[in-house]
Amino acid sequence: MAVNLPPQYHDAEARYKKGKTPEEKLAALREMWVILPKHKASEKVQADLKTKISELTDEIEQAKLGPKKAAPGSHKVPKQGAGQVVFLGPPNAGKSRLLTRLTKATPAVAPYPFTTREPVPGMMDYEDVRVQLVDLPPVTPDHYEHFVTDITRGADAALLFLDLSDDDGPPATESVYERLKLARRRLVPPGAPASDDPGVYHLKTILVANKADDEAADVRLELARDLIAEQYPVRVVSAERGTGLEELRKAIYDLLGVMRVYTKQPGKPADMTSPFTCPIGGTVSDLAGRVHKDFEEGVKSARVWGTGVFDGQTVGRDHVLHDKDVVELHL
Ligand SMILES: Nc1nc2c(ncn2[C@@H]2O[C@H](COP(=O)(O)OP(=O)(O)O)[C@@H](O)[C@H]2O)c(=O)[nH]1
Ligand SMILES: [Mg+2]
């Protein structure tokens, strides 16, 4: 979709391109952000601008901390599956143990802190889709790996861990929230309004209260609910005993806010084995863009079997799809 941009936007963009320092570039990008009309047609431009602002803000902040230990992007985890969900929490909360329960990944699990130093991805099966989970090093007020800031920018959602076997669990989890806030990452409950500052990244989060097998688990969970600033949905689990894990799988999938759509070729049955996933509220053209980047503009209509249509109804490119619809794209 074409976006009509006012002349002031192009002026600011020219200043961005001519900017010599990251600070000059950032100032110009922030002007562009203010001027940019915020509507559906400009969603892609908005997203690009947000990413650039966030990247430059982080670059400027990290430069203040001294030379980088690792090259930018060296800890990047390429996205796979229906979405990427990162594990954030204090040491010893059972993040790595949970990853071994939900995926085939094999991170080291140990009864002492700081065992995990690098991001460890694994794929979680949920019905007929797969979600990428990424175990990360622990976060404490004194210990923060700066690549966590980069990884959380690209992630779709987060699990915030609480250790129910430790009296220090609730304050330790609160510290994780605060430390990420310092890094301009705000862990918010799903459905919270989008960030109004493009330099601050909001990450949809649920609280995973682990080690529910501890006898004082209930009391600590209550304490944590009072202490932690945001009211996250909570999933109570025991990674060790394997309780609560099926409910957690569903909660993780739901957190992504995606729907499954199956495609078919004319005259052939649908491929019901590997759905495409799109954000809930996505249209025929959004789906087409997932199938092939050239199809997003190229798709003219579609036939749809599923919700809100009669079987095989022909719809336009702006038709909103539903979970489990079967779609035949017409280019
Ligand atoms: N009792 C109990 N112990 C657990 C549970 N989950 C993990 N642990 C133990 O907690 C310790 C830390 O686990 P780990 O996964 O390495 O924690 P991480 O630092 O958050 O990755 C290990 O000794 C685990 O066996 C659980 O649900 N219950
Ligand atoms: Mg670990």
Task: Among 109, 162, 235, 241, say which to mutate for ligand 1: greatest number of ligand atoms within 8 Å of CB.
Answer: 109
Domain limits for position 295: 258-330
pLDDT tens digits, 161-191: 999 999 999 999 999 999 999 999 999 999 9
Q: What is the pLDDT of residue 106?
A: 87
In angstroms, what is the span from residue 68 Cα to ligand 2's centroid?
23
Give 68's pLDDT tier (boundaries 50, 70, 90).
Answer: low
Residue 212 has pLDDT above 80, yes or no: yes
Q: Are both 93 and 204 inside the same structural domain? A: yes
Over residues 133-150, the pLDDT tens digits come to: 999 999 999 999 989 998
Same structural domain, 186 and 219: yes
Confidence of residue 1 (pLDDT cuts 50, 70, 90): low
The answer on 117 and 136 residing in a single domain is yes
Residue that terminates a domain, selected from 223, 240, 256: 256
Check whether residue 52 and residue 98 sit in a common domain.
Answer: no
| Token code pair at residue 211 | 């080690």
274-323 pLDDT per residue, tens? 899 999 999 999 999 999 988 988 999 999 999 999 999 999 999 999 99
Indicate if 137 and 204 belong to the same structural domain.
yes
Together in a domain, 246 and 225: yes
How far apart are alpha carbons 287 and 74 in whole angstroms? 31
Cα of 163 vs centre of ligand 1, distance in Å, is 9
State both tokens at 226: 């009072």
Domain assignment of residue 2, yes or no: no
Pocket test for ligand 1, best of 95, 148, 237, 240 (most atoms within 8 A of CB): 240
Q: Are residues 104 and 197 in the same domain?
A: yes
Instruction: Let me know whether 220 and 240 are in one domain.
Output: yes
Name residues whose C-beta falls within 8 Å of residue 212's C-beta, 6 or more positions apart in sequence. 164, 236, 237, 238, 241, 243, 244
Query: How many domains does the chain contain in total?
Result: 3
Say yes or no: 242 and 271 in one domain: no
What does the mean pLDDT of the chain come to? Answer: 92
CA of 93 to the centre of ligand 2 (A): 8
Please state, for a pLDDT cut of 90, what percent of the chain lies above it: 76
Please compute the mean of the pLDDT values over residues 56-79 and round it to a whole number.
76
